[in-house]
Structure 1
Amino acid sequence: MADVRTYNVVVLGIGFLLIFTAFTTCGNIEQTVVKSLNNTTFIGSGYHSLGIIYGVFSFCNLLAPTIVAIIGPRFTMFLSGILYSGYIAVFIIPSTWSFYLTSVLTGIGAAMLWTAQGNFLVENSDVSTINRNTGLFWALLQCSMLFGNLYVYFDWKGKTDISDKDRKIIFTALLVISVLGTVSFLFLRKAREMEEALSEEECQSLLSTPLMYQQRASSAVRETKTDLKTTLEIFKTKTILLLSFCMAYSGLELSFYSGVYGTCIGATTHFGVAAKSLIGISGIVLGAGEIIGGGLFGLVLKNSRFRRTSVVFLGMVVHFLAFYLIFLNIPDDAPVILNTSSQHTSYLTPSVSIALLCSFLLGLGDSCFNTQLYSILGQVYAEESAPAFAIFKFIQSIFAAVAFFYGGYILLTWQLLVMVILGFIGTLCFFMVERMQNVSADTQEY
């Protein structure tokens, strides 16, 4: 049983690694690519597209648990991968209408994908393995930051504009990678206990397949209201209300490191012709921070002396240090969408070393917050994992959407200030939830 579960977690991580090698690289470079398009009819914005994705993502999360319950997490993730692949394909022959249409579809797919992922991860974990599996999955997922961005670094080195040929080559490669990740979900296996429980039903289904689907559809209709009611009930619990501040912060910093910061580096004129290729190397270093954090904290948490609160506190400190260095190192108007290059003067002479150090710190801090949110939700809501993770992604993505929409219009200083305030509040609220869980555990012992 343990072997099947471990196999599933690894294959799950590999599938996400491939899909998000494509999607994360796409998000990191798309605003730069859009600016370089030699197409007068294309008026899309990479920031707006990502904002649409996360906005649709947030609201579809409320319905995603029902979809997962009807068709199962494995097939849900396969369908979602197809939608992600469609978004990547648009950049090969870009048009405004298809760009924004696939943004909406990808938002729907993202809600299904992440809700199914959370549900499947918890199904293949228990109290003793949830931290290990979360860390393993997170480390594999964040390897997606390496490969696409490595290609961007070498291929875009010395280029100030991205040609149509360069764009088609990289997005065709990303499309193939995304499709491979989608297909990998078909290789996920059922745990033996589930197979044994379903064996009798599967035998009967061979004789009465139409009846089986009719019963499943009828059951799905009855369960839809129940799933929505469960989600709303969990939403109102004290634990989720407190954790929502930490979830919201994870959404703001997600939009910053995945779209805004790379654009800032590419727009910093002091970096010269190397600026565009630095977007790729920044993504690689950021991914290294994510991988180290995910792998490390999945193992460290086996030691009871190193609690979840310690990891979250470390994440807050690391992020605040990164924000301060970015404030000093990057020109204030670097993220502004109407600028083709940065004009303001930074407090320090922009340094590539400091910029890349900040990328690493952003990745490390992000892994601190996300691995611990996954861990605590998996523990507290082990029996209601799909609704709990849907709520997490709802809150995270709606704040990411808001941040993407204002990211191209608000100066860097104000964006950093908002993240510092919400990050501090979110960390305090996480501490309160962890204390509540410890008190509850101590009470149950007696």
Structure 2
Amino acid sequence: MGPEGKRLLNIVILGFGFMFMFTAFQTCGNIEQTVIKSFNNTDFHGSGYTSMAIIYGVFSASNLIAPSVVTVIGPQLSMFFSGLLYSGYIAMFIYPYTWSFYTASVLVGIGAAVLWTAQGNVLAINSTDNTIGRNSGIFWALLQFSLFFGNLYIYCAWHGHDHITDKDRQTVFISLTVISLVGCFLFFLIRKPDPEAALPEEVTESLLQAESTESAASSSHQSIGSQALDAFIKACKMFVTKEMLLLSICIGYTGLELTFYSGVYGTCIGAMTGFGHDAKSLIGISGICIGIGEILGGGVFGMMNKCSRFGRNPVVLLGLITHYIAFYLIFLNISSDAPLAPEEGTDLQAYISPSVAVALLCSFLLGLGDSCFNTQLLSIIGFTFRDNSAPAFAVFKFIQSIMAALAFFYSNYLLLHWQLLILVVFGFLGSITFFLAEWTAESQRRETDYDSIG
């Protein structure tokens, strides 16, 4: 297998590892608020929204130190140990206690920052200018298969259940824990790309950074400390660059809509008594539809990025239009009190009779629009900040996760129509600033091409 084949195989293994891990974790996030409402233990006083707010809040803060961790122990071990923390959070639901619930939330927040920083590093050092779009699309599509498999399992396990029993919960979460652990061990199959291959200068620099990461583990404590500090300073400096400031609003929007499709919307569907006795199992079907949209978008738009003459802007514009259609239909179809309804659900209606078909169409549109934004953000950050990919992806996740934490916090209090209004405003502003960042990146690319011709 040639050098390019090895790098592509690394991306595929990376995608499968994340697919298994997030089959477990995203399914857990999708159902946890509904599961918590069904607990028979009166000593448990946790909230799924609050847990996710803690996860993303700690996640955002931990992103400032994540590049240092990846620098010291390397991306492979970083992803493995972070994955173990994810597995622990899922396993906690087998026998939940309030203290273990919130402690696990803090630990997952730390693990998430390290995991995604290491993922961005692996993606960047296994890609060139010509393959970064393709590789981002492949990774994103494989990752989003997690929504399909996990939620299909939930639908089959809970079909026809009005109430989630302790046995139902334990069976589901034992299975999800095992699936998550499989993903952790897949990361050990990733191999360092061949440094002798003919690569662009920027990728060679990234490979040298990866090599220095390995040597850091065997160097003195003073050297490790200085490397960790250097990675932290780079992340802070990158945060205030013109390119990252332009992208920050769009990144923040992906955090808000991540909260909505991964935690709030499924809870809304499960709370609508107008959907009948299968409302709880419809959470699983909704997750599958989101996954189909994510997979379709990741595959198509990742490939388009490689050959499109128009750059990334048309894909982001399509994502915005897709989300606006979804938000409008949700506003018409789901009652405004659904995010806050008790376990027995809400009998209120919105502006049309509750329609399962419309609800699932909106799930698909949410996933499709999300993939539009995320594939293009992965691509533009991988291109613009290739020389310092670890701190760049750390800043990306810092902004995204702090907005997700904010959204999970206000989801405890705001009615549905106010949450949709926030998404509409941020989506518009984020798209405009992305267009400006893309034009800046495009002018840099033209200058690079001109210099290489000269």
| TM-score, normalising length: structure 2 | 0.93
Q: Tell me what 1:286 maps to.
A: 290
Which AA in structure 2 matches 1:362?
Answer: L
State how 1:13-412 maps to structure 2 within 5 Å.
Answer: 13-193=15-195, 215-336=219-340, 338=342, 340-412=344-416
1:395 to 1:364, Cα distance in 2 relative to 1, 3 A:
same
1:40 to 1:194, Cα distance in 2 relative to 1, 3 A:
farther
Deviations 1:373-425, CA, capped at 9 Å, x for gaps: 00000000001111110000000000001101111210100000000000000
Which AA in structure 1 matches 2:424?
Answer: V
Alignment of 1:441 with 2:445, yes or no, is yes
Supply the distance in 2 between the matched residues of 1:311 and 1:212 (Cα, whole angstroms): 40
Deviation at residue 218 of structure 1 after TM alignment: 2.6
**Count of paired positions:** 433
Which AA in structure 2 matches 1:395?
Answer: I
Deviation at residue 213 of structure 1 after TM alignment: 5.2
Which AA in structure 1 matches 2:154?
Answer: V
Supply the distance in 1 between the matched residues of 2:384 and 2:351 (Cα, whole angstroms): 45
Q: Tell me what 1:8 maps to.
A: 10
Q: Tell me what 1:201 maps to.
A: none
Supply the distance in 1 between the matched residues of 2:326 and 2:40 (Cα, whole angstroms): 35
Contact 2:131 2:306 in 1 (8 A): no
Supply the distance in 2 between the matched residues of 1:177 and 1:154 (Cα, whole angstroms): 17
Q: Tell me what 1:419 maps to.
A: 423
Supply the distance in 2 between the matched residues of 1:138 and 1:383 (Cα, whole angstroms): 22
Supply the distance in 2 between the matched residues of 1:119 and 1:212 (Cα, whole angstroms): 16
Supply the distance in 2 between the matched residues of 1:145 and 1:385 (Cα, whole angstroms): 27
Supply the distance in 2 between the matched residues of 1:362 and 1:270 (Cα, whole angstroms): 22
Deviation at residue 344 of structure 1 after TM alignment: 3.0
Deviations 1:53-73, CA, capped at 9 Å, x for gaps: 111000000000000000000
Deviations 1:308-356, CA, capped at 9 Å, x for gaps: 0000000000000000000000001000155741243200111000000
Supply the distance in 2 between the matched residues of 1:126 and 1:305 (Cα, whole angstroms): 18
1:303 to 1:277, Cα distance in 2 relative to 1, 3 A:
same
Contact 1:265 1:278 in 2 (8 A): yes
- Identity rate, percent: 57
Contact 1:51 1:400 in 2 (8 A): yes
Aligned pair partner of 2:436 in 427, 432, 435: 432
Which AA in structure 2 matches 1:410?
Answer: L
Q: Tell me what 2:207 maps to.
A: none
Supply the distance in 2 between the matched residues of 1:58 and 1:343 (Cα, whole angstroms): 37
Q: Tell me what 1:203 maps to.
A: none
Supply the distance in 2 between the matched residues of 1:70 and 1:329 (Cα, whole angstroms): 50
CA RMSD between the two structures = 1.7
Name the SS for the 1:345 alignment partner: coil
Supply the distance in 2 between the matched residues of 1:145 and 1:38 (Cα, whole angstroms): 28
Which AA in structure 2 matches 1:322?
Answer: A
Which AA in structure 2 matches 1:246?
Answer: C
Deviation at residue 229 of structure 1 after TM alignment: 1.6
Q: Gaps spanning 5+ residues in structure 1: where? A: 198-208
Supply the distance in 2 between the matched residues of 1:114 and 1:354 (Cα, whole angstroms): 33
Which AA in structure 2 matches 1:352?
Answer: V
Deviation at residue 303 of structure 1 after TM alignment: 2.0
Deviation at residue 212 of structure 1 after TM alignment: 8.1
Supply the distance in 1 between the matched residues of 2:7 and 2:290 (Cα, whole angstroms): 29
Supply the distance in 2 between the matched residues of 1:169 and 1:213 (Cα, whole angstroms): 40
Contact 2:19 2:144 in 1 (8 A): yes
1:410 to 1:98, Cα distance in 2 relative to 1, 3 A:
same
Deviation at residue 192 of structure 1 after TM alignment: 2.2
Contact 1:337 1:408 in 2 (8 A): no
Deviation at residue 154 of structure 1 after TM alignment: 1.6
Q: Tell me what 1:206 maps to.
A: none
